Chains A and B, each alone.
Chain A
Amino acid sequence: GNSVTQMEGPVTLSEEAFLTINCTYTATGYPSLFWYVQYPGEGLQLLLKATKADDKGSNKGFEATYRKETTSFHLEKGSVQVSDSAVYFCALFLIYNQGGKLIFGQGTELSVKP
């Protein structure tokens, strides 16, 4: 079946540290891949996406590259800030009927300390 697996959290880093959150997927066909972020008390927001192999999505200093050969979409940031503390969800998108649906990973909580 189609699924997304993320590294378990919580991940605790000091400000300005390098961040990697691993994400691997299983899917039929060629899905689009996403990272969503959920700040405390809020709904999810799209952070970045990639729609085909070797695409790199980027936003707010975060990057992720669609690696078809390893079925991965790892999230990276060179220097995290306290304001990046949130839960990060990797997801894949499948086209279905006239719309589509997202399948989410379990989420990885990031806590950045000053």
Chain B
Amino acid sequence: NAGVTQTPKFQVLKTGQSMTLQCAQDMNHNSMYWYRQDPGMGLRLIYYSASEGTTDKGEVPNGYNVSRLNKREFSLRLESAAPSQTSVYFCASSPGGFREKLFFGSGTQLSVL
């Protein structure tokens, strides 16, 4: 019953460093999402992938890139981290189509110093 698995759980970066957040789901879902959660702002969509081979920008895509490696995996990359990217990042997946329930991972807490 793994569901959605995110790695790492915690990460500290210096300004300008790069890193990739990994996400994998084992539920054969078509759609996958990356959100960031900031105090008082709820969850904001960074990027999403409606199906394998497609990616689209969400509300706050600047400073991020994504790769839908295959149906299971959807990674989020920070090329040059900035303090404004300090946040908690959540990956989620859903079956897609008209089925709307999202399944979330447990999050990655990222601090950029």
Known: A43-B104, A44-B90, A100-B100. A106 touches B42 (CB 8 A): yes
- Of the candidates A6, A34, A106, which one forms a contact with B100 in the assembled complex, judged by CB atoms under 8 Å apart? A34
Known: A98-B50, A99-B30, A105-B42. A44 touches B100 (CB 8 A): no
Q: Is A69 located at the chain interface by the 8 A CB criterion?
A: no
B105 contact set on A, CB distance < 8 A: 43
Known: A44-B90, A46-B101. A99 touches B42 (CB 8 A): no
CA distance A76 to B90 in the complex (A): 27
Encoded as 1 (CB less than 8 Å from any B CB) or 0, chain A from 20 to 33 comes to 00000000000010
Q: How many residues of A contact B (CB 8 A)?
A: 26
**Which B residues are closer than 8 A to A by beta carbons?**
4, 30-31, 33, 35, 40-45, 48, 50-51, 54, 56, 58, 90, 92, 94, 96-98, 100-102, 104-107
**Which A residues are closer than 8 A to B by beta carbons?**
6, 32, 34, 36, 41-46, 49, 89, 93, 95-107
18 cross-chain CB contacts under 8 A: A32-B100, A41-B106, A42-B106, A42-B107, A44-B43, A89-B43, A95-B98, A98-B30, A98-B50, A99-B48, A99-B50, A99-B96, A100-B94, A101-B45, A102-B33, A102-B102, A103-B45, A106-B41
